[in-house]
Amino acid sequence: MYKNILLICACLLVQACASAPPIDQFSPEQIASLTKVTNTEFDSHIKVVGVDIGNTVTRGLNLDIEKYFMRSDIGKFDSLIESHQLYFEVKYTANDWRFYDGANLKGGVPINTTQISREVVHCSGNMFGACNYREVVGITFSYSDLMLASKEGVSVRFNTRYTDVFSYAYLPPNYFQGYLNVINKHRG
């Protein structure tokens, strides 16, 4: 009986530690099937949200928990009214804000970011005074940017007020190919 319980626990542990395959191993069709579309009679636009990509980065004794994905709004009555944004969220523990602001594409091309939210999640009473922070920024893309990304992918470095602290996001070409399959179904 004891061996059976240990075996079950070991199986559950192995299953819990298994991670999803990297996003670049998904086919564009799989990406499209995992992309969420919200189209209600109460909205003047259709919302499209791409697959979440998660990342964990070790910084000393702390971990950054990152997630990023594409999201779009497409006008129902005028499909020329549309917006596309790379949404980037990071949760981290530190003594102060990083103030994510601005980004660079691969090759050093600067790109503007939009601050979506910034919050203190929790502050501990420990002697180090560290807090848990959450920052969310977005990068606006045009439809032609999405088309180019479907051939090359997109690599972004998100900048902070510190010259040696960055976060990186990579969305491969297959991500945009699948995402565009969904977008194109809803464009006029």
Contacts of 41 (CB under 8 A, 6+ apart): none
Q: Report CA-CA distances (Å) from 121 to 36, 40, 54, 99.
A: 27, 32, 19, 15
Q: Give residue-wise pLDDT tens across range 78-129.
A: 767 889 999 999 999 988 899 999 999 999 999 999 999 999 999 876 656 6
Beta strands in the chain (DSSP E): 36-38, 45-49, 53-59, 62-75, 82-94, 103-105, 110-111, 114-123, 131-141, 154-159, 166-171
Inter-residue contact 159 to 100 (CB < 8 Å): yes
Inter-residue contact 57 to 91 (CB < 8 Å): no
CA distance 82 to 76: 9
Q: Helix and strand tally (H, E) in the chain?
A: 4, 11
pLDDT band for position 130 (cuts 50, 70, 90): confident
CA distance 32 to 92: 30
pTM listed for this prediction = 0.84
Query: What is the model's pLDDT at position 127?
Result: 59
Place of tokens 């940017």: 145
Q: Give residue-wise pLDDT tens across range 136-177.
A: 999 999 999 999 999 999 999 999 999 899 999 999 999 999
Neighbours of 52 (CB within 10 A): 13
CA distance 50 to 30: 11
